[in-house]
């Protein structure tokens, strides 16, 4: 027997805003779509363009071919796109050596961190990168400079143990998708130990990461549970789940799709908060709300904590006025 609205328990969904796509992700996806339109398939993409399986599969269906390394490309005359996370300097050098035509979809805010690292290196500073080992953005940032130039610090304990060659000539930079609070704690330790350490002119953690975390902090204490829509390998999505837990939400889960919902996690709830990582499309948020609407009498309230108006230019070759 089907459940009627009269027998469904009420559920208030607090929808965090901002959520979902940031300007860097939006730009990266546009670059792949426009390249497919302009040059036709296949267009190769090195690494997942953004960390979201739904997005990757959608682009694959349009003719994008995803590879981990350039040597996997069996049609080297076709365009290749570098992902939003950024790449080590060796990757474009390799592409040039292979006479490949490439488009760089690196988020401009990640490129900003790359430039900072290069400036510090020119000033002969020891460089500390706060980030997560193995993340493509960290690999790309450390790969802007010779091996051993940048020291990765992941935790407060790492910051306490760090011993630079020259304590008076230091600088720190960060991955753009970190927990604002965790990063602040690490920076406090570094500044206490090394008062002259140079910092970025403008915060490295990107506006979208910060805004999404602040929205979660605003709603988490009022929610019985929170869903973060995003991929398990998405750093900014994982940080949103952690922020929700720390902000007092008893149940905080990261889900990719509605079919991943474990309904036992949501027994007896009356308020559910939902947000989405910066690489998760809105259609997946709607899918999850629809799934809850089959079991609950859902009312949706948007909770907005910031407005975002940031946009980034496309590569020159893909702009409408670009010469053929």
pLDDT of residue 201: 81
Q: Is residue 57 among the annotated active site residues? A: no
pLDDT of residue 1: 39
Q: Which of 53, 3, 15 is nearest to 288 (CA)?
A: 15
Q: Which helix (H) or strand (E) element contains residue 245?
A: helix 235-246
Identified catalytic residue from 37, 57, 93, 137: 137
Tell me the CATH number at 54.
3.40.50.11270
Domain count of the fold of the chain: 3
pTM score, two decimals? 0.93
pLDDT of residue 116: 96
Round to whole Å and give the CA distance between 248 and 252.
Answer: 10
Cβ atoms of 14 and 301 within 8 Å: the answer is: yes
Asked if residue 253 and residue 214 are part of one domain, the reply reads yes
pLDDT of residue 324: 55
Beta-sheet strand order (sheet of 150-153): 150-153, 126-130, 170-174
- Name the pairing type of β-strands 80-82 and 126-130: unpaired
Round to whole Å and give the CA distance between 79 and 178.
Answer: 31
Alpha carbon distances (Å) from 287 to 60, 205, 257, 259: 21, 29, 7, 9
The string of pLDDT tens digits covering residues 95-110 is: 999 999 999 999 999 9
The domain boundary residue, chosen from 193, 215, 236? 193
Ranges of the chain whose pLDDT falls below 50: 1-2
The string of pLDDT tens digits covering residues 132-150 is: 999 999 999 999 999 999 9
Round to whole Å and give the CA distance between 247 and 60.
Answer: 38
Helix/strand/coil for 305: coil
Round to whole Å and give the CA distance between 148 and 74.
Answer: 33
Cβ atoms of 34 and 320 within 8 Å: the answer is: no
Alpha carbon distances (Å) from 37 to 17, 44, 59, 226, 316: 32, 13, 12, 38, 15
Q: Which of 69, 81, 70, 72 is nearest to 43 (CA)?
A: 81
pLDDT of residue 4: 52
The domain boundary residue, chosen from 51, 77, 107? 107
Asked if residue 157 and residue 221 are part of one domain, the reply reads no
Structure-block tokens of residue 218: 């605003």
Domain containing 74: what range?
Answer: 23-107
For residue 267, the tally of other CB atoms under 10 A from its CB is 9
pLDDT of residue 323: 57
Asked if residue 244 and residue 181 are part of one domain, the reply reads no
């Amino acid at each position: 027997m089907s459940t009627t609205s009269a027998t469904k328990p009420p559920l208030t969904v607090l929808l965090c805003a901002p959520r979902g796509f940031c300007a860097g992700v939006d730009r990266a996806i546009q670059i792949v779509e426009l390249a497919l339109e302009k040059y036709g398939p296949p267009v190769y993409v090195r690494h997942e363009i953004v960390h979201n399986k739904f997005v990757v599969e959608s682009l694959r269906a349009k003719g994008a071919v995803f590879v981990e390394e350039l040597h996997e490309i069996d049609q080297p005359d076709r365009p290749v796109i570098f992902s939003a996370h950024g790449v080590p300097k060796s990757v474009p050098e390799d592409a040039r050596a292979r006479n490949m035509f490439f488009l760089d979809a690196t988020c401009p805010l990640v490129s900003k961190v790359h430039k900072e690292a290069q400036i510090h290196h020119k000033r002969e500073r020891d460089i500390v990168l706060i980030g997560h080992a193995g993340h493509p953005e960290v690999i790309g940032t450390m790969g802007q400079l010779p091996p051993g130039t940048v020291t990765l610090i992941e935790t407060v304990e790492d910051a306490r143990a760090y011993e630079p060659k020259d304590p008076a000539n230091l600088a720190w930079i960060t991955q753009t998708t970190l927990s604002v609070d965790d990063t602040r704690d690490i920076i406090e330790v570094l500044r206490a130990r090394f008062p002259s350490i140079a910092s970025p002119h403008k915060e490295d953690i990107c506006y979208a990461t910060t805004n999404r975390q602040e929205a979660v902090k605003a709603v988490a204490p009022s929610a019985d549970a929170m869903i973060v829509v995003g991929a398990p390998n998405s750093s900014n999505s994982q940080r949103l789940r952690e922020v929700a837990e720390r902000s007092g939400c008893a149940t905080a889960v990261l889900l990719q799709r509605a079919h991943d919902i474990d309904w036992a996690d949501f027994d007896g709830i009356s308020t559910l908060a939902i947000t989405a990582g910066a690489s998760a499309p809105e259609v997946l948020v709607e899918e999850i709300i629809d799934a809850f609407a089959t079991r609950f009498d859902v009312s949706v309230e948007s909770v907005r904590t910031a407005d975002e108006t940031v946009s980034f230019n496309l590569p020159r070759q893909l702009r409408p006025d670009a010469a053929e």
